[in-house]
Every structure is written in C-alpha cells, then in structure tokens.
Amino acid sequence: MSFLKHRGYLLSLVALGAVLAFAACGSDNEKTSGTASPGGGAGERIQGGTLTVQNLEFQSSDPHFSNFVQDISLERMLWRGLYTLDKDNKPQVSMADGEPTISSDGLTYTVKVKEGLKWSDGQPLTAKDFALAVLRTCNPDVASNYQSFDTNIVGCDDYFGAKGTTAAPKTPTPEELEALKAAVGVKATGNTVEFKLVNPQPTFKILLSMWTYFPVPSHLLPDPGEAWPTPPSPKLAYNGPYMIQDYKPQDSAVLVPNPNWSAPNGIKPTLDKIVIKYIEKDDVSNNAYRNGELDVVSADLANLGAVKAEFGNEYFQAILPGTRAVEMELKHPPLDIFEFRLAVSQAIDRDQMIKVCCGGAYVPTTSFQPEGVGGHAPDAFKDQIGYNPDKAKENLAKAKQKFGKDFPTLGILVRDTPEARAQAEFLQNSWKTILGLDTRIDPVDSPTRSKRLNGHDYELAPRSGWIQDYPDPEDWMGKPSGLFNTGGTNNTSSCSDPEVDALVDKATTNTNDSERRDQYKKVNELITTRLCGYAPTYHEANNNILKPYVVGMKENSTAQDTRLPGDWIAEAWGRSK
Amino acid sequence: MTAYVIRRVLWIIPVLWAVATITFFLMHTVPGGPFDQEKQVPPAVLENLNAKYNLDKPLYEQYGLFFWDLAHGDLGVSFRSQQPVVDLIKDGWKTTAQLGVATFIFAVIFGMSMGVISALNHNKLPDYLGVFFATAGTAMPSFVIGSFLVIIFSVKLGWFDVLGWEFGNYKKMVLPMLTLGVLPSAYIARITRASVLEVLNQDYIRTARAKGLAEWVIVLRHTIKNAMVPVLTIIGPIFAFLVTGSFITETIFQINGVGRRFVNAVSERDYGLIMGTTLFYAAIIAIANLVVDLLYATVDPRIRYQ
C-alpha cells in the first residue's frame, strides 16, 4: 500500500507539474505596454507595419446588396466610386474625371471616367463597370437592401420589381427581363457614364459616392444578376486602396495595399497589411488590447469609466451622425395626446441617463437631426422638451384631463441587452418617480423588436432612431428615410403632420440647395417640438481605444466613420513606429 | 452485431427528419424574421429578399423545398452571408473539432487521473483536493473560469493569447482547453472516483490482495478496467458535447467554431444556417451515442447486441 500511497502523491505532483510547466512555457511572450502616451495617435506614418483592428464580421461584401455598417466599412477599403466624400462631407472627384455635366432640366448626369484606371488585377477600369453597378443594384435577383439609392434612376424600380410581389407574383420571360434591364437609365459610352433621373435630385452627386455605385469588375462578373463572390476570389478585383488577401470566417480578414490604387486624393497606403479581427464582445477585445494582440478596439461600454481611467489618451470618442430616441406609437392612447408625450419627454434627465446607463458613451440631445448635417444643436430644444420635472407634472395633469381616466400601464419595448435594459430601467424609474406612471419592460431579441416596431405593436421604444446613410438632411427628414412623412417607409410611430408632409414634398425636388436645407431644418424643428413619434435622447458615438503609435485614425475621424475612426479613408492609416 | 449496427444507423434517418421538422416549424413560429431590421427595408426590397430565399412561398412548400434540397446534399445558403451552409459548417467544425478532441483528451486523462488518485487516497489530502476540484469544477460556469484564466494568465502574466485557436500553438490552445475542459474533467473525476472506490471494495479485489498480487497489478488490471464501464457511459455524451462546440468558450476566446456560428444564426434568424447546424448537431450526437453503445460491448463482454 505504501507504494500506492506514494504513487498517488506522485501522480498528483506529475499532473500539477505538467499543468504548471505547460503554463510556464509561455513566459517568454512579448507583451506590449498599455501605457498611454500624451496625445497618442500623433506622429508621421512610417512605411510598413501591420495594424490589427477589431471589427464586426461583414455579413456580405457585395456593395450592391449589403446594408450593415461593418460591410460598408470594409467595402470602402476595397472599392471606390466616381466621387467620394471629403472630411466636410462634400463630394469630391475620385474615379471621375471632373464634375458631372448636368442637363438643364436636372434629369441627366454625364460623368467622364478618368483615363488609365486599372483594377487590382491589372484589367482596365472603365465606364462600363460603373454602369453595371446600377444594373446590379436594380436587379431583382441581387435584391439590394439599398436599392432606394437608385430609385430615382429611370426604370430602376420597374426592373427591381420585375418579379412582382408575394400577393401578385410575376414571371417575366428572359426577353422581358432583358427589356426592363435595357430600360434602366444608365449608359456607358466610351469613357462616359450617363445617368437618367426621374426627378431632379440635388443630392445625386452625393449618392454617386455611396457604396451601391461602386464599380463591378465586368470582366469577371459580366451578368448583373450574378452572385458576388466571397473574397478573396479570383472572380473579384478591387479599385480601392486595399484588396483582401485572406479571409477566415468568424476570425479575421487580411487586407494588403492594391498596387493599382489610383490615389485620387494623393494618399497611398503605407501599411503592409491591415488585419481585421472579428470580435463581437468588447470585454474580450479589450483584454486582447491589453495583452498587445490588437492595436485598435471598441471600448467596453459596460466598463467605460474604468476604460477611460486605464487608457487615458488612448481612449477616443467619435460622435456619429446617429440619434437615439424614445419612440412612441402615436395611435396607442394616451400617446396620441401631445401633453402626455411632452410629460414623458420632460421626465427624462438625458444627462443623467447617459452617465448612469452608458458611462458617458454618448451625447445627450433634444434635437433629432444632428447639427452637423443641417439640424440643430443638442440643446436647441431643451426648453421645450428637455428635462423639467415640474413642467412634466403640469403637462401630465393636462393630458389626464383630456384622457379622462387613469392612464394604462405602458409597455417599454427594448432589446434584451444589458445596456438597453439599463436605459429602460432608468426610464421606467424616472416616469414612475416623477409622473407616477406605471410601465412594463418588454425585453426581446433584436428581430422580435424590429418586427414589433415595424408592425406598430408597441407603445414606448427607447433606443429607436436613425443612423445616417448619407450626409444630407434629406437622409434624415426626407422621403428616403421615410421617418416622418405620412406613410413613409420607416414611419413606425404613425407620425402624420400635414405641415411636415408639405415641407418634405417641397424639399424633395427643390433644386435650391440652401432653401431645401432650411425646409428640412424646419421639419426637424416641427417633429421635435411636436414630439411627432420621437423624444430624442442622445447622439450615437463610437468609443475606441487606440495604441499611441496608430496614425491616421483619430485625425481623419468624421461623421462618415462607420465602425472605426477614419475608416472612410483607410488609406491614410499607418503606424508611427 | 452487424444487423444491430445497420438498424441503428437507419434509425438515425427518422431521428434527423424529426429534429429537422420540429426545428423548421419552431423557427418559423418565433417572432421576427431574417430581414426584420430596425431600419425597415422598403416593401419592394423585402419582396425581392423573400423571393431570393423562397420565403414568399407557403410554409409547406418551403418545408418541401428544404427536404428536396437536403436529399440532393444541399443545405442551402446562409441568409446573412450568402455563403453555402455546408461551407460554413465545414469551416467552423474543423476548429471546433480540434478544440473538442484536444479538450476531450485533456479531460479524460486529467479527470480519470484525479478520480483514481482520489480513490486510491481515500479520505487523505489528495482525495480532499480531488473532491474539491470535482465539486468546484462542476459548480463554476465556464464563462467565470474563462474570464479568470484570461485575466490572470493573459492580461496579468502575458503567458497566453486572449484571442483565437491554433492547433499546435500552445499560446492559443491552453486557456480554451482549460476553460472548456474543467467541467467534463471534474465530472469524469467524480464518476471515476466513485466507481474505483466501489470496485476496490469488491470481493475479487480482496481475493487478489490475499493472493499476494502486486498492488499495481490490482489497480491497473483489476480495478481501473472494471471501473471504466460507468465512466464510459458519460464519456460518449461528453465527447458529443465537446466536439459540437461551446458557444461560451468560443465566444470568450473568439474562436471561429460552429458553436458561435449556431447561436449567432439563431439570434439573427438565419434560417438556412439554423437548419444546417441543427441537423449537423443531431447527426453528431446520434453517431456518438451509437459509438458509445458499441464500445460498451467491447469493454463489458457480458453486453451483447442483437
């Protein structure tokens, strides 16, 4: 037995020793310091090096299909359109050879493509490739999520709707489909592309810089209905600053400079490669950042206070053109009573909510449309709809007189995430404490929430709102967003205001730029002060942590950022050491 | 025996059909669809998206189409990434299987060693340590273990990587294996200890000792072998559990396995991927159970299948 006794101890020691030895093998690991340096991010770009950044995985790399920000973030690194937006959101020449020629009726845009452009595989990039982009976006089989960007092009809607609806399906013959395709108002002749519009559209040049207008390598994908290959693929070529060298689903993508990038802005990539790691959880990415495995990550919002304290100047907040609000379904009494909505809005201490629920990750606001895209300053409507408990109580009393009975328990529809629940609980507590209102939190997953919002099956929905597609007030207040005009595509609050409808109608086709901007600004004022479906609470922001040697991200961060600072001009990214 | 195996393999077909049918209808019963987004797509876009994935057809027709495609070896495409589901599962499972098999080997060796050591040192320090490990390992959720391991061994000590899995690279293997392996090894340790203790009290062990057999012969030849049947019973399901992927471990270490993909598919209502991964899981579990049943007969000659 004594042997066995010793053998037992021995085995225990061996097992323990093996674990420790296995662990100790890693002690020579190089560990990058997480110490912040003042003004981190500044410095000149050196030639070479790798940047490893966190992002969400793209759902689709097809610029004529996708609609997720991480998709667009990637696509702008790989492809570029005829025009591109500059730091001030103004469209500048990119692949086009100068400004478009616009016909006197504003219905025909003719754009000359630069001579000598090449795809990454060395094949010529021509006007035909840009025309094919429109045909792909309008193609019913591609089923583009952003066909709305091309809806004003003659024949696009007819081609897109060629197969009818579920209720009234159509089965067009190949000849009929071909005829519909031929009728789409885009034509490549020599080195020029001609776009024919249904109505004059002052924002069309901005749209030409959007992802749905990125060219198609027609030498590889000649048919507009053809499936977009998953990169890297010999069936794909790129005209942007980078190309995909490697892609591992759920893990990473490796981008390397495109040798044929024409650098219309004069900026060429200096990095050898960009490694994009696909990480959904920010606490995980933050640990990897601490361990020196990542150079740029999204800050963990659940611990934002600690993150800011730990990383100092490495923390970077970029305000985004996105607004979150408490959405109210106006057809559900008592939300149809203006005074009730006003009381609900005035009982929200926005500053406190952002501090308590989100660690100061966002910018409190009372304006739906951000100031940077022609809207109003965050505090513009503070006196009308901002936090004021006394006025909130007064307005609730008025609403009760109109309603004539006790208020029912209202549902708060919210995504079942810790941050969303925290906001819902803050709001529930505020409405109960200040107004005595009873509410019920309905936590659901994302598709269920969307289904209920779109089906008008809710009463109050915090964290609703809008994230900008393109930097123009039209995208916020106009028909493309369809948030506030009666029957608009995204009008999930049942907002219906004749004054708003009339102004939106006027602004849609107004070719006088400053006049139409004023009209949209007035719409913002009306819908905000009348609380037409939304009580704005905060503007979105990206919260990142960047190593001090990262260059070109903070400096180029604008409202056009999607997922990463300065990702609209990733060719300017680099390392200072 | 051969007839039994053939019968069991054929039984897998109706099992998979039942799993697929239940999943299909449950999936369509849950509110929200793959294209329900906060930023609502225009009706024409929705119509085209539905047509593209056959969602414009009646449910029974979609059900029929799914099985028709399945019969032709086609699991369809992911509604999100538009990549073939088979490719996505293949990609993810390679990693998941590596992690699962490596963890399985670790859990079996470590768990059985702990169990045997505990039993052989009954009511002594190693036994107390073994029981403590078995209890703590079963009680602590893997996300707690994983988080602690990352903070201590990656963030503080810098010994291992936080991200990913790479077979052969210890920096990327140790922490995921420990995180995933603690629960099964604790469970194996507990069962092994109990089983070995029971065998040690059997008359034939007493007889062997009385005959003067060397202790190591008694332990290795007569105790451990006979104590293995209950352990084998749990090893099969553990193997199936490990090789089908762990969403938690794969998420903590951002491993591109099939477990993470499956859970994301559910939350995104990616019907194509949900069906594919569910069928894949069901097939793996059915096959693992069959293998375990066959192993019983190998370990215990008294068991005969007809």
If DSSP states are collapsed to H, E and C, what string results for B181-209?
A: HHHHHHHHHHHHHHHHHHHHCCHHHHHHH
In chain B, positions 29-48, which contact chain A (CB-CB < 8 Å)? 30-34, 36-45, 47-48
pLDDT of residue A127: 97
| B175 in A contact zone (CB under 8 Å) | no
Residue A16 CB contacts under 8 Å (≥ 6 apart), including other chains: none
Mean pLDDT calculated for residue range A134-150? 91
B267/A446 touch (CB, cutoff 8 Å), yes or no: yes
Greater model confidence, A447 or B198? B198
Torsion sign (Cα): A410, A413, A417, A420: negative
pLDDT of residue A12: 38
pLDDT tens figures, A556-572? 998 888 889 999 999 99
pLDDT for residue A22 is more than 60: no
Distance in angstroms (rounded) separating the CA atoms of residues B175 and B158 = 12
| Closest residue in chain B to residue A161, using alpha carbons only | B44
| A233 in B contact zone (CB under 8 Å) | no
pLDDT of residue A535: 97
3-state secondary structure of B44: helix
Of B31, B48, B121, the CB nearest to A5: B121
Cβ atoms of B179 and B249 closer than 8 Å:
yes
pLDDT tier for residue B245 given thresholds of 50, 70 and 90: low
B113/A284 touch (CB, cutoff 8 Å), yes or no: no
B83/A249 touch (CB, cutoff 8 Å), yes or no: yes
pLDDT of residue A15: 36
| A67 in B contact zone (CB under 8 Å) | yes
| A466 in B contact zone (CB under 8 Å) | yes
3-state helix, strand, coil in chain A (%, to 5): 35, 20, 45
A95 conformational bin, left if phi > 0, alpha if psi -120 to 50, beta if neither: alpha
Distance in angstroms (rounded) separating the CA atoms of residues A239 and A128 = 14
ipTM of this complex prediction, to 2 decimal places: 0.78
Quote the tokens at residue A515.
Answer: 């006049």
- A26 contacts in chain B (CB < 8 Å): 153, 157-160, 170-171, 174
- A16 contacts in chain B (CB < 8 Å): none
Mean pLDDT calculated for residue range A482-510? 91
In chain A, positions 126-165, which contact chain B (CB-CB < 8 Å)? 140-141, 143-145, 147-148, 157, 160-161, 163-165
| A140: DSSP letter | T
In chain B, positions 252-271, which contact chain A (CB-CB < 8 Å)? 252-254, 256-257, 260-261, 264, 267-269
Q: How many beta carbons lie within 10 A of that of residue A301, not counting itself? A: 19
Distance in angstroms (rounded) separating the CA atoms of residues B63 and B54 = 10
Residue A417 CB contacts under 8 Å (≥ 6 apart), including other chains: none
pLDDT tens figures, B92-126? 888 999 999 999 999 999 999 999 999 999 899 99
Mean pLDDT calculated for residue range A253-272? 95
Q: What are phi and psi of A460, to 5 degrees?
A: -125, 135
pLDDT of residue B83: 82
Q: What is the DSSP string of A255-289?
A: EEE-TT---TTS-----SEEEEEE---HHHHHHHH
Radius of gyration of chain B (CA): 24
Quote the tokens at residue B68.
Answer: 């028709």
pLDDT of residue B79: 82
pLDDT tens figures, A143-164? 888 888 899 999 999 999 998 8
pLDDT of residue A481: 82
- B47 contacts in chain A (CB < 8 Å): 161, 163-166
| B84 in A contact zone (CB under 8 Å) | no
A480/chain B closest Cα distance in angstroms: 10
pLDDT tens figures, B30-77? 877 787 766 667 777 788 888 888 888 889 999 999 999 888 888 888
Torsion sign (Cα): A418, A424, A426, A428: negative
Span between the terminal Cα atoms of chain A, in Å: 64
Q: Using alpha carbons, list the distances in angstroms from residue B300 to A301, A533, B2, B205.
A: 56, 71, 18, 18
Distance in angstroms (rounded) separating the CA atoms of residues A193 and A110 = 6
H/E element, A526? helix A513-529
| A293 in B contact zone (CB under 8 Å) | yes
- Strands A534-546, A315-328: parallel, antiparallel or unpaired by DSSP? antiparallel
Cβ atoms of A439 and A410 closer than 8 Å:
yes
Mean pLDDT calculated for residue range A217-221? 96
Which CATH topology does B91-266 take?
Answer: MetI-like fold (1.10.3720)
pLDDT tens figures, A113-133? 999 999 999 999 999 999 999
Largest CA distance in chain B: 86
pLDDT for residue B204 is more than 50: yes
Q: How many beta carbons lie within 10 A of that of residue B18, not counting itself? A: 11
Cβ atoms of B208 and B222 closer than 8 Å:
yes
A505/chain B closest Cα distance in angstroms: 19
Q: What is the DSSP string of B229-267?
A: HHHHHHHHHHHHHHHT--HHHHHHTT---HHHHHHHHHH
Beta bridge partners of A323: A466, A539
Q: What angle do CA B200, B201, B205 make, to 5 degrees?
A: 60
